[in-house]
Structure 1
Amino acid sequence: MGGSIVATPFRWNIARREQLGSLISGVSPPQRLNDMFLESLRATAARILAHANRSDLAFIGRTPENLYDYLSGCFEGLRDTPQLHLVQYSLRNAGSVEQLPESTRQGLFDYLTALGLGPKAIATGPRPIALVDFVASGGTMEGLIRLMKMQAEQEGQDWTAVQRRLRIIGLRVRTKNSPNTWRWQQHQDWLHFIPDTIIRNVSAPAAFLYYLGNDQPKVTASFHPGRWAEEEGAARRPSRDQQAALGFATQLYDLGRTREERQNLAKRIARHRKMNQRATRRLVLRLRGG
């Protein structure tokens, strides 16, 4: 990167409360932790972890923020758990990624590298990387894969080695399973870029996913192509919505740190048919305190 400043969207570290100061005091979160929301969150997280097997997790965009904060709390202080990344990424009104200015694309490439998700790190890292996002039509995931491939080619990395280390976990609205069920990956014309990438889907209630994707206030501002090439983000006074979202994120993180919630998550994972995987059994033991 030649010493250039990486465009990094600022996000408060909720594990370090001294950073938050008075930001979350006296601000009502967008919703309280109720049983219905928490069960959907816990069940979705459990399915993601079961499908991830031994992969690290990269949560893409702002929709999965709650999953990232919750699991960050669940894994805090535990050894040999998946590494979690929150990748701020949006293609809002961007059109074709091939038509983006070179400097814009480079800004995202530098950001991914700084996160440890550059092509070399993925190809040679100790674990595969599972990309987790709410998938509607597949356009956002397509754009990200195309950009990752462009970065690999630009940096002289073997794209085949990179895509073999990728997984995709698509969050999907739960529907009745039938032979006629619409599956997004069956309607894509770009999957030849990732012939060895394992694709799995995790279903969740529509109200839960639509709330996360469309209605819930977010901690961070959208990191769209217009921001990829800007200078490194700094802390700015958050809006009231951001403060509320930050307060909710701390609730999720604190809940995940409790022994009771880790036990609850472990029970949920243990019910999954992929409990026969060695890495999944080991993760359940870690959460149970073994």
Structure 2
Amino acid sequence: MSGLSLEDIVAWRNTAPLGIGTGRMAKPFRWNFAKREQLGTWLDRADRFHPPHRDDLSALRNAAARILAFSNGADLAFVGRSPENFYDYLSGCFEGISDTPDLSLIPFSMRWVGEGGVDAIAAHKFSGLAEALAANGLSPQALAASQRPVALVDFIAYGGTMEALVSVLNRMARETATDWNAVQRRLRIIGLTHRTKNSPNTWRWQQNQDWLGLIPDARIKNVSAPSGFLFLIANADDKVTYSFHAGRWDSDVTGAPEPSADQLRGMAKAAWLYDLGNTREERETLARLIAAHPEMRQPATRALVSALKRG
């Protein structure tokens, strides 16, 4: 941890994940941008950080409004690293406001389950993955008992990651004797997809997906966005966290790692988006965009718009 100031070391100790020294695996670490005292001087060290281009910011804002309109009061679980920007932006928008959807960022990276499917994942690795999901509120028990549905939000090209996640939740339910029907009834899917010309012949990812038989009651909505913006968030953008792939599922977490240069830029962007969302002007703008959608007729959507305006 060379190069850290005393302030940074104190922040690192104060933000170390639960489970250290207990012999248990802890969820992957992520900094809390609502608590800047935990960040020390790291944000000041972000080299070559530039705020988002206005076109990318507009795409983010408009897509966020559609996600909220389509969610109809559901809590939002952003899957993996691609939707990090949405999580940080909306965390700022919702800060200090009651009656807004709960937001979670789900550590998950698995586009292909491999031969044998999810059931072939070794028990010691699967338990680490299951623990990380549960620590972020995405366990079958929590879903089955929740008062509100949960919408899984991610960039979707062909549906592989979403198939893997739903299959993982199904195995978790079987291994904990949780009623899967109660779980799947509370699931929603909101996919971020490439914007194309709309026609009866347009291919949609949810067509011919056999695994959707696991969640027959789940509502699926797609939010289209410009291809350049989706490439940015899915591939080119600097990320705050490391990818939580199979090689890390059974690794012991020993604290907040010293951020790389790329991570520092990701942290600076996350903080910038959080601060933008946490302004009256931005909340009013987001509220206007949500209100422009036909889903404004839904009571939950109207309530969210009112809450943002009051905030």
TM-score range, shorter chain: over 0.9
Q: Secondary structure at the match of 2:43?
A: coil
> Could you say which residue in structure 1 is the equivalent of 2:90?
71
In the alignment, structure 1 residue 178 sits paired with structure 2 residue 199: yes
Q: Aligned pair in 2 of structure 1 residues 191, 4: CA closer, same or farther (>3 Å)?
A: farther
- Partner residue, 1:108: 129
TM-score (norm 2): 0.89
AA aligned opposite 2:74: S
Q: Post-superposition shift, 1:29?
A: 5.5
Q: Which amino acid aligns with 2:95?
A: E
Give the distance between the partners of 2:36 and 2:67, measured in 1 at CA. Answer: 28
Counterpart residue number, 1:288: 309
CA distance in 2, matches of 1:7, 1:171: 29
Aligned partner of 1:194 in structure 2 is 215
Aligned with 1:49 (options 55, 61, 68): 68
Superposed CA offset, 1:53-110 (max 9, x none): 0100000000000000000000000001000000011016762323211111111112
Mark the CA change 1:289 to 1:137 in structure 2 (over 3 Å): closer, same or farther.
Answer: same
| 1:240 CA displacement | 0.3
Q: Name whichever of 84-93 and 9-18 sits farther off.
A: 84-93
Q: Deviations over 1:7-60 (max 9, x none)?
A: 311111111111111101042454323321111010000000001001000000
Matching residue's letter, 1:261: E
Q: How far off is 1:6 after superposition?
A: 3.2
Over 3 Å counting, the alpha-carbon distance change for 1:42 and 1:261 in structure 2 is same
Query: Aligned match of 1:128 in 136, 144, 149?
Result: 149
Quick one: distance in 2 between partners of 1:14 and 1:259?
18
Q: Partner residue of 2:9?
A: none
Match of 2:298 among 271, 277, 286: 277
Structure 1 counterpart of 2:306, one-letter code: L
1:207-286 alignment, distance < 5 Å: 207-286=228-307
SS in 1 for 2:65: helix
Q: Give yes or no for contact 2:28–2:132 (8 Å, CA) kept in 1.
A: no
Counterpart in the other structure of 1:33: 52
Q: Which residue is 2:162 aligned to? A: 141
Structure 2 residues not aligned, in runs of 5+: 1-21
Shift in Å at residue 158 of structure 1? 0.7
Q: Percent of aligned positions with the same letter in both sequences?
A: 54
Q: For 1:154, give the aligned amino acid.
A: E
CA offsets per residue over residues 121-180 of structure 1, 9 Å max, x none?
101112110000000110110000001000001100110110000000010000000011
Q: Deviations over 1:205-237 (max 9, x none)?
A: 100011100101100011011111222351111
Separation of aligned partners in 1, 2:206 and 2:110 = 19
1:150 aligns with 2:171: yes
CA distance in 2, matches of 1:57, 1:30: 28
3-state SS, counterpart of residue 285 of structure 1: helix
Q: What SS class does the counterpart of residue 207 from structure 2 fall into?
A: helix
CA contact (8 A) 1:59 1:85 kept: yes
- Give the superposed CA RMSD: 1.4
| Separation in structure 2 between the aligned mates of residue 181 and residue 206 of structure 1, nearest angstrom | 16
Q: How many residues align?
A: 288
- Contact 1:61–1:133 under 8 Å retained in 2: yes
The residue identity in structure 1 corresponding to 2:138 is L
Equivalent position to 1:204, from 225, 242, 245: 225
